Structure 1
């Protein structure tokens, strides 16, 4: 039997809220399903917080609302946070991503999340 986890797109107002929403969808109130991109990928690939039933679908309802909330503005905010703690060797790369995001170009947080889902759990994402 396929289990469906629902992400209500209107509730995703930023990346921090996404972590709460996906955690609750998969593991109930105060549930965990990653709190950063690497942990999220681990959960999807069989790490801590992964559903016991591997036959699941993620329905991202009203995903266009999330796409806007996780757009270039949120991406720039996240990249500024990352820039504050990134090793010097990666600083120029992250700064380049930040410059692109501030100009409204490049991939967004929404893109990062959907790419991780598609990579780690191919075929489970349904954008509605």
Structure 2
């Protein structure tokens, strides 16, 4: 039987909200299912609350609202955090991404999450 984890998009306004909501959906109150993009990708691969056989679906309800909240302004905020912490050799690349996001171009936080899910757990993410 396929396990279904429901994300309430009305509760997701920031990337930090996403980590909380997906953690709770998969592993209950206070649950963990990633706190950064790399750990999210790892969790999607299994062993962090989802069935070992990979038979699960993450249903993201009201995803359009989340898409709006996780758009370019949130992307700018996240990239500013990354820029403040990244290795000096990565500053040029992150600065370029930040400039694009400030101009309303390029992938958004929402796009990052959907892309990771598509690569790590093809077909598991359903946008509703």
TM over 0.5: yes
- Structure 2 unpaired stretches of 5+: none
Give the TM-score of the pair, scaled to structure 1. 0.96
CA distance in 2, matches of 1:11, 1:85: 27
* Aligned equivalents of 2:46, 2:25: Cα separation in 1: 17
Render the CA deviation track for 1:10-57: whole Å, top value 9, x for unaligned.
Answer: 10010001000000000011000000000000000125x241352101
TM-score (norm 2): 0.96
Please list the CA deviations of residues 104-128 of structure 1 after superposition, one character each: whole Å capped at 9, or x if unmatched: 0000000000000000000111111
C-alpha contact (below 8 Å) 1:26/1:33 kept by paired residues: yes
How far apart, CA to CA, are the structure 2 residues paired with 1:84 and 1:39? 20
Task: List, as ranges, runs of 4+ consecutive aligned residues in structure 1 with deviation greater than 3 Å.
Answer: none
Q: How many residues align?
A: 127
Aligned to 2:33: 33
